[in-house]
Amino acid sequence: MSKTSRIAGAVIGMVALAGSLAACGGDSLEKDKAGAASSGGAAGSGKKGSLVVGAASFTESKVLAELYAQILGDAGYSTSVTTVANRELYEPSLEKGEIDVVPEYAATIAEFLNAKVNGPKKAEKAPVASGDTAATVAALEKLAAPRGLKVLPAGAAVDQNAFAVTKEFAGKNKLKTLSDLGRSKAGVKIAAGDECEVRPFCAPGLKKTYGINVTGIDPKGVGTPQSKQAVKDGKDQMVLTTTTDAVLDSYGLVFLEDDKKLQNADNVLPVLNAEDAGSQDIADALGKLTKALTTEDLAELNRKVDAERAKPADVAKDYLRAKGLVGK
C-alpha cells in the first residue's frame, strides 16, 4: 500500500464514502463475533473471551493483525482475523464492536477521524497530525475517545514516507540526512508518484523545509521496482518510498534521515473498541509487542511475505516465538 496519499486519502475518502458507510458497515462482520466469517483461523484458548482483529487488505496490515491475534491468543483469548478492504469500512465496524482491535498508523487514523468529526474541508485546513509522535497520539486520543475507541501507546515501528539515494551518491555528497542534501545544493530528480509535485510532504516540503534542489519528478510510482531501478541506473537521483521498504539494499540504495520531521508520525499502534476490548489485560499483551517491534522488523516481515511468499500467520508466529513474546 502506498503511503504517499494515506493522509490525503483519509480526508478525501470521507467525502467519497460518507454516504455508503452505514450500508457497508458490515453485516458480514457481525458473523465474525461468532468466528463464522473470519479470514483467519481462530487462536487461543478462549478462557478470557473472544476477540476479532481487523486488517486492511495490504501485506503489512495483515502481518500486524496476525501478530496482534497471536499474542492475544497466547494471553488467553480466542482470536480471529478478518480482512476488510479499507479504513472507511473497518473503522465504523470498530466503533460498533463488530471488530475489537485493529493495527493502525497514528497520523493517518488521526486525520481520518479529524475528517469524520470536523468535516473534510475543515480537517484539510486544520490538520491534527504532525511529525511529533506524542502530539499526534494526544490529538488522536481526543478524537477517538468520544467515539468509543481506545488508543494504546505508539511504538518505535513507523511506516511513513522516506527518501533514498544510491550509496555512491550519498558518499560523493557526504549525505546522511535530508538536511545534508539541502546543504549540498546537488540537483535531484525524484522517482515518485506524479502527486509528489504538489504534495507538501514531497517536492514542496523538501524545498521549503530542507532547501533541496528538486529538478523534476519522474512519475514511476512510490517505492516501485521501476522507481528504484531508475535511481540505481542514475536516471533519477532520489526515490520516494517508505520506511519499511525491505529491498532498498538490493538496489544499492540508502535512506536519508528526515531529521527535521517533514513526514507525519505514522507510528504503529493498536486502536480498540473501548467497551469490548478496553481491559488492561489486553493493553498489556499488545504493549509487549509494541515495545518489541521495530521498523526494521516490520520491513523484514513484509519482505518474507512479499518476496518469499510466506503466509502472514506463519511469519507472525516465528517472530513472536523468536522474540520470546509467546510460549513455544
Question: Could you give all domains of the chain from N- to C-terminal order, each with its CATH number?
Answer: 6-158+265-322 (3.40.190.10), 161-256 (3.40.190.120)
CA dist 4 → 1, 134, 203, 241, 268 (Å): 9, 22, 12, 8, 16
Q: What pTM does this model have?
A: 0.83
Place of cell 520491513: 299
User: Quick check: helix, strand or coil at residue 55?
Assistant: strand
**Spatial separation of the C-alpha atoms in residues 22 and 95, rounded to whole Å:** 12
pLDDT on residue 42: 54
The 8 Å CB, 24+ separation contacts for 226-229 are: 226/191, 227/191, 227/192, 228/164, 228/191, 228/253
CA dist 149 → 102, 136, 142 (Å): 11, 16, 10
C-alpha cell recorded at residue 227: 522507481
pLDDT on residue 45: 63
User: Quick check: helix, strand or coil at residue 150?
Assistant: strand
Under the banding of pLDDT at 50, 70 and 90, the label for residue 28 is: very low
**166 beta partners:** 253
| Region of residue 88 (phi > 0: left; psi between -120 and 50: alpha; otherwise: beta) | alpha
Once rounded to an integer, what is the mean pLDDT over residues 236-265?
A: 96
Amino acid code (one letter) for 17 = L
Looking at the predicted structure, is the pLDDT value of residue 279 above 90?
yes
Taking a C-beta distance cutoff of 8 angstroms, is the pair 230, 164 a contact? no
Count other C-beta atoms under 10 Å from residue 146's C-beta.
9
pLDDT on residue 85: 83
pLDDT averaged over every residue in the chain: 88
**DSSP assignment letter at 177:** B
CA dist 125 → 118, 129, 136, 187, 208 (Å): 11, 12, 16, 32, 19
pLDDT tens for 129-138 read 999 999 999 9
